[in-house]
Chain A
Amino acid sequence: MNEKRYAIVLDTKKCINCKACTVACRAENHVPHEEGAYRIWVTALELQGKFPDLHQDYEPSQCQHCQNTPCESVCPTRATYKSPEGVVLVDYDKCILCKACMTACPYNARFVHEHHKAIDKCTFCYHRLPEGREPACVETCPTKVRVFGDLNDPNSQVSKLLDTNRYYRLKEDRNTNPRLYYIIK
């Protein structure tokens, strides 16, 4: 098996909601400064408990690069497609902005890019990968919540993390088989 199979493993317990990843993403991918325009985001999950017994977690999220890909299935023009490494991409030139994919996406990971007149979303910084560079969010993350790598390589850090930790994926009941893995500690 020569193909790579890219994934991100997240240790959200380390996330401090500093938003470095979201700014890095905006800058790297020229995401417009508009409400609703974002490729990745960090959510402060609902506060648990009553003062003073409180608990709060933070959850970074983005396109989950599902292998059962509802956005791709519904796309009438094949603008949404999967790269050989399993990265879900959008060909702006083919996109007719019907927004069927936005409705189909269980993760709310797609938005209308007004400049491109097309749907936009996380690409795992696909343009960086041939240069051996990590996605911008992974590279910049201060506390190294995110690890990017190849699941087909048993020695990659992502493979090792998944071998040695329990994890969950978002909305597993939707049977999308996402490529973002959230470690449980």
Chain B
Amino acid sequence: MSFTRLKLSRRKFLAASGVTLAAASMAGGLSSIKAVANDEAKGKLGELGRKFVPSSCAMCVNKCGLIAEVVNGKIRKLNPNPKFFKSRAMLCARGNAGVEEPYNPDRLKAPLLRVGKRGEGQFKEISWDEAFKIVAKNLDEIKRKYENRSAVAFYSTEGFQEEFFHFLVQSYGSANTVRHPTLCLSSVIQGWSSVFGTYPDADLTQAEFVIMLGANRGEALVTPDSIDFQKNRPKGQKIVYLDPRFTVTASKADKWYPVKPGTDLAFILAVTNVIVEEGLYDKEFVDKFTFGFDKLKEHIKPYTPEWAEKECEISASEIRWTAHEFAKYAPRSLVYPGRRTSWYVNDVYLRRACAILTAIVGSFDVPGGIVPKSSIPLAKHDPIFPFFDMSKGRLDVSFKGIKELLPEDERTAAGLPTDSCTFLGEKDGSWLAFREAALRGEPYPIKAIIAYKQNLVESAPNREKTLKLFEQMDFICTIEIQMSETAWYSDLVLPESTYLERWDPCHSLSGIWPIVTFRQPVIEPLFNTKSMHEIAAGIVNEMLKIPSLWDDADSADVEDFKATLVEEILNKPTEEFVKYQLSKYPGAFDQIKKEGVFYLSDKPVYGKMRKEGTRFKTKSGKIELYNLKYEEKGLDPLPVYRRPSQPEPGKYRFILGRHAWNTHAGTQNNEYLHMIQKENSLWINTKEAIRLGIKSGDYVKVKSKVGEQIVKAYVTEKIRPDCVFYAHGFGRISKGLSLVYKKGASQAAILEDKIEPISGNAAMHETFVEIKKA
């Protein structure tokens, strides 16, 4: 299937477009054009005319290709890039709303230094020179005072410029970077990798039978899957969807099972049981590629559909039907891996079970199955960093106290580690384990936080604890485009240029349709802002002026560092960085500048691992149904079902979910998106609401062990009676977010900080709440 043939006629037009066409369209007889033209005249002085500039979106993580229409130096509109086949040439609500980001009245416009107490919001504008000096001075003071560079924690979230942020981290020498995956998808990566040695994609364009567990692709947009889910859905494809909520995905699915929250594993094990017991698996594939089928065969015996029915509240006959259909359509049947899986403390075992079920029917690396990602290799910069003596190892790796972040139930009595997380990413760490260790100062104190784009206060469970952590800090610095809560509580706020005002490095987006994307400035920066690249350069150049920052490193190393990082990368324009990344491919830089994308082929890649002699990245080198490393580490080598804790009578489980109108806590303060969703509301089942005397629109108090929030109720049949839900990103406490300050309710305020201890992911569906009329 080819996706690039779309809309070629428009591409032709774009190539020919110019100012004359703008004039032509005004002759079209629409007086609205006049007013539009007036608005656009307010753009940056000096630049006249109309142009179309390709770049990519940053309103969520998908990085879809866009083409900006710029008139007289002002962005008029962001349109989808018809050549960007990964997102099937679309731009969603957020992508379109991005047009406001540079012009948002709440933008940070200059570096800000706190003058009042932390959290009071009193700042004064300072110059970039002063700002860089303040950061360098604080880094030096902490290094001298605590004799440990790792006392500074560097928080970031994924994005094109995160690489420069990490160059800054390595220039200082802290081991403590805390990234977003353990608030999101680390358990699904761990679970699938523990079976296949890789976290694969799902080919929804050719699958005939799909099981989706809570992966709400109709609302939580992931490209290309969300698009393929409807636009390219093959005729006759069946989707079975498990979710305690009736979401958009449920409305499009062939079967919606309102699964009892936390019991999806029972369902998957029972489907596996039927397929194994009835011999419906792919014997040839199992023999050739997998390890541990005999053990699985024994292990799966007790997990019958009749047993599962009592756990997950999906009937045994439906489970059998699912198993039979799943096997019938294999290898064009799959369990969809999903993305945000920070659900339960044993989430990794659920993901393992999903991978195992897909493996035994042989739906691997074939059209319509699960397919390992392909990518387009880019030239990688390899700067030299000094080795600093005063740098201790990661805090959360040596921390032994995660037990308090686990519930007291049968899942932690066996099967899960209770001292420290089993597998932590070197750069990711575990968000919750890290905060717990930092709060206790174990095994060493954390005294400063530098945050890039990550809103620690609003994005992680148990907001009180994050604010408590902030109290322990000598210095907090945030790099942002708006006054997030984290910026609000910072000592120094550095304003970044928005994604439409800067160059960004290329990213090779891996997947079934690998593609390279990048960013170039659509307009020049409107205010006194800089890119993360320029900020890193500014800070490092100031650091180099302070001798005590380099006295625990070898001086020859420092010279190499200056030559390879500072001169070669930091002090050069980002454009040069991009050119080097694409240097393997003649003409690629010009192509990406002109077309916004670079790719080797627009055809999907199948079958590269389904070959004789393939060694999978597992201990046995095979697809591990039975995991040898887990056995070694005292974990369950095959997924064991253990019942999750249940809410006491009168309480409800609080569940999470994403939707297409906002990204996490990052986009609510945008007027276009605000017009769609002004605040969130609590979904509560009709029967429960009647019992509590609550009507839609009533304000209710939602109270958990760690906090309470007041929010409007939405009484609906679309949710099970035993759980409640509201969307993320509201109930904000930064006065700098004028549209959403104190509007609706915050998740961070009420979620308990429970941990999934194998991958270190947060377990965000383990909070129970009381609901009362407010």
- Given contacts A23-B97, A27-B96, are A47 and B718 in contact (CB under 8 A)? yes
- Per the bound structure, the CA–CA distance linking A2 and B582 in Å amounts to 49
Stretch from B72-80, B346-354, B545-553, B554-562 forming part of the interface with A? B72-80
- Per the bound structure, the CA–CA distance linking A143 and B263 in Å amounts to 32
- Per the bound structure, the CA–CA distance linking A55 and B253 in Å amounts to 10
B125 at the interface (CB under 8 A from A): no
B25 at the interface (CB under 8 A from A): yes
| Interchain CB contact under 8 A, B660 and A23 | no
| Interchain CB contact under 8 A, A23 and B32 | no
| Interchain CB contact under 8 A, A27 and B77 | yes
- Per the bound structure, the CA–CA distance linking A118 and B231 in Å amounts to 37
User: B30, B672, B686: which contacts A89 (Cβ < 8 A)?
Assistant: B30
Q: Mark B88-130, 1 if CB is under 8 A from A, else 0.
A: 1011111111010000000000000000000000000000000
A120 at the interface (CB under 8 A from B): yes
B363 at the interface (CB under 8 A from A): no
| Interchain CB contact under 8 A, B10 and A18 | no
- Per the bound structure, the CA–CA distance linking A116 and B39 in Å amounts to 12
Instruction: Give B670's nearest chain A residue, CB to CB.
Output: A23
A52 at the interface (CB under 8 A from B): yes
Q: List, in ascending order, chain A residues with CB within 8 A of B720's CB.
A: 51
Which residues of B (213-239) have their CB < 8 Å from a CB of A? 218-219, 221, 226-227, 229-231
B421 CB → nearest A CB, Å? 36
| Interchain CB contact under 8 A, A142 and B31 | no
Q: List, in ascending order, chain B residues with CB within 8 A of A142's CB.
A: 87-88, 90-92, 221, 226-227, 231
A59 at the interface (CB under 8 A from B): no
A157 CB → nearest B CB, Å? 12
User: A19, A33, A126: which contacts B93 (Cβ < 8 A)?
Assistant: A19
B45 at the interface (CB under 8 A from A): no
| Interchain CB contact under 8 A, B97 and A131 | no
B1 at the interface (CB under 8 A from A): no
A97 at the interface (CB under 8 A from B): no
Q: Mark B239-258, 1 if CB is under 8 A from A, else 0.
A: 00000001010111000101
| Interchain CB contact under 8 A, A27 and B251 | no
Q: Mark A130-169, 1 if CB is under 8 A from B, else 0.
A: 1111101001111110000000000000000000000000
| Interchain CB contact under 8 A, A130 and B10 | no
Which residues of A (18-36) have their CB < 8 Å from a CB of B? 18-20, 22-24, 26-30, 33
Instruction: Give A14's nearest chain B residue, CB to CB.
Output: B230
Q: List, in ascending order, chain B residues with CB within 8 A of A77's CB.
A: none
User: B248, B716, B719: which contacts A17 (Cβ < 8 A)?
Assistant: B248
User: A18, A50, A52, A123: which contacts B30 (Cβ < 8 A)?
Assistant: A123
A57 CB → nearest B CB, Å? 7
- Given contacts A130-B28, A132-B10, A133-B10, are A140 and B80 in contact (CB under 8 A)? yes
Instruction: Give A54's nearest chain B residue, CB to CB.
Output: B246
- Given contacts A20-B91, A27-B672, A52-B256, are A91 and B660 in contact (CB under 8 A)? no
A127 at the interface (CB under 8 A from B): yes
| Interchain CB contact under 8 A, A127 and B226 | no
B231 CB → nearest A CB, Å? 4
A104 at the interface (CB under 8 A from B): no
A128 at the interface (CB under 8 A from B): yes
- Per the bound structure, the CA–CA distance linking A167 and B474 in Å amounts to 66
- Given contacts A47-B716, A47-B717, A142-B90, are A131 and B25 in contact (CB under 8 A)? yes
User: A19, A30, A136: which contacts B660 (Cβ < 8 A)?
Assistant: A19
B434 at the interface (CB under 8 A from A): no
| Interchain CB contact under 8 A, A116 and B35 | yes
- Per the bound structure, the CA–CA distance linking A93 and B9 in Å amounts to 34
**Interface size bracket, A side:** 35 or more
| Interchain CB contact under 8 A, A132 and B9 | yes
| Interchain CB contact under 8 A, A24 and B91 | yes
Instruction: Give A56's nearest chain B residue, CB to CB.
Output: B251
Which residues of A (80-102) have their CB < 8 Å from a CB of B? 83, 89, 91-93
- Per the bound structure, the CA–CA distance linking A178 and B453 in Å amounts to 48
| Interchain CB contact under 8 A, A16 and B226 | yes
| Interchain CB contact under 8 A, B227 and A143 | yes
Which residues of B (1-56) have their CB < 8 Å from a CB of A? 9-10, 13, 17, 21, 24-26, 28-33, 35-36, 39
- Given contacts A50-B717, A126-B30, are A20 and B90 in contact (CB under 8 A)? yes
- Per the bound structure, the CA–CA distance linking A17 and B160 in Å amounts to 29
- Per the bound structure, the CA–CA distance linking A57 and B13 in Å amounts to 36
A174 at the interface (CB under 8 A from B): no
| Interchain CB contact under 8 A, B717 and A131 | no
Instruction: Give B69's nearest chain A residue, CB to CB.
Output: A28
Q: List, in ascending order, chain A residues with CB within 8 A of B33's CB.
A: 127
A119 CB → nearest B CB, Å? 11
B643 CB → nearest A CB, Å? 22
- Per the bound structure, the CA–CA distance linking A47 and B671 in Å amounts to 28
Q: List, in ascending order, chain A residues with CB within 8 A of B413's CB.
A: none
B673 at the interface (CB under 8 A from A): yes
- Per the bound structure, the CA–CA distance linking A142 and B79 in Å amounts to 12
Q: Mark A98-128, 1 if CB is under 8 A from B, else 0.
A: 0000000000000000011000100100111
| Interchain CB contact under 8 A, A18 and B92 | yes
| Interchain CB contact under 8 A, B31 and A126 | no
| Interchain CB contact under 8 A, A127 and B219 | no
- Per the bound structure, the CA–CA distance linking A120 and B35 in Å amounts to 13
| Interchain CB contact under 8 A, B231 and A144 | yes
Please indicate which of the listed interface residues B25, B78, B93 has the most CB atoms of chain A within 10 Å of its own CB. Answer: B93
- Per the bound structure, the CA–CA distance linking A93 and B31 in Å amounts to 7
Q: List, in ascending order, chain B residues with CB within 8 A of A49's CB.
A: 717
Q: List, in ascending order, chain B residues with CB within 8 A of A26's CB.
A: 96, 672, 675
A155 CB → nearest B CB, Å? 14
- Per the bound structure, the CA–CA distance linking A28 and B78 in Å amounts to 9
Q: List, in ascending order, chain A residues with CB within 8 A of B99's CB.
A: 27
Instruction: Give B675's nearest chain A residue, CB to CB.
Output: A33
Q: List, in ascending order, chain B residues with CB within 8 A of A56's CB.
A: 246, 251
- Given contacts A18-B660, A130-B28, A142-B226, are A30 and B35 in contact (CB under 8 A)? yes
- Per the bound structure, the CA–CA distance linking A139 and B88 in Å amounts to 11
- Per the bound structure, the CA–CA distance linking A89 and B29 in Å amounts to 9
Instruction: Give B25's nearest chain A residue, CB to CB.
Output: A127
Instruction: Give B87's nearest chain A residue, CB to CB.
Output: A142
User: B28, B32, B79, B248: which contacts A29 (Cβ < 8 A)?
Assistant: B32
- Given contacts A47-B718, A127-B33, are A23 and B673 in contact (CB under 8 A)? yes
| Interchain CB contact under 8 A, A128 and B676 | no
- Given contacts A20-B93, A132-B13, are A92 and B31 in contact (CB under 8 A)? yes
Which residues of B (414-433) have their CB < 8 Å from a CB of A? none
B385 at the interface (CB under 8 A from A): no
B560 CB → nearest A CB, Å? 48
B290 CB → nearest A CB, Å? 36
| Interchain CB contact under 8 A, A23 and B93 | yes
- Given contacts A33-B675, A91-B31, A140-B80, are A54 and B219 in contact (CB under 8 A)? no
Instruction: Give A57's nearest chain B residue, CB to CB.
Output: B251
- Per the bound structure, the CA–CA distance linking A29 and B33 in Å amounts to 9
| Interchain CB contact under 8 A, A130 and B24 | yes
Instruction: Give B686's nearest chain A residue, CB to CB.
Output: A51
- Per the bound structure, the CA–CA distance linking A120 and B31 in Å amounts to 11
Instruction: Give B40's nearest chain A residue, CB to CB.
Output: A30
Q: List, in ascending order, chain A residues with CB within 8 A of B13's CB.
A: 131-133
- Per the bound structure, the CA–CA distance linking A140 and B21 in Å amounts to 21
A93 CB → nearest B CB, Å? 6
Q: List, in ascending order, chain B residues with CB within 8 A of A131's CB.
A: 13, 17, 21, 24-25
B317 CB → nearest A CB, Å? 15
- Per the bound structure, the CA–CA distance linking A14 and B39 in Å amounts to 35
Q: List, in ascending order, chain A residues with CB within 8 A of B24's CB.
A: 130-131
Interchain residue pairs with CB less than 8 A apart (22): A16-B226, A16-B230, A16-B248, A16-B252, A20-B90, A22-B676, A23-B93, A23-B673, A29-B36, A47-B246, A54-B256, A115-B35, A127-B30, A127-B32, A127-B33, A130-B24, A131-B24, A131-B25, A132-B13, A136-B79, A140-B91, A143-B227
Q: A30-B39, A115-B35 are in contact. List 4 more A-B contacts (CB 8 A).
A: A58-B248, A127-B30, A140-B79, A142-B231
For the complex of A and B, the 10 pairs showing the least CB-CB separation, nearest first, are A18-B660, A143-B230, A142-B90, A23-B96, A14-B230, A51-B717, A143-B231, A19-B93, A23-B93, A92-B31
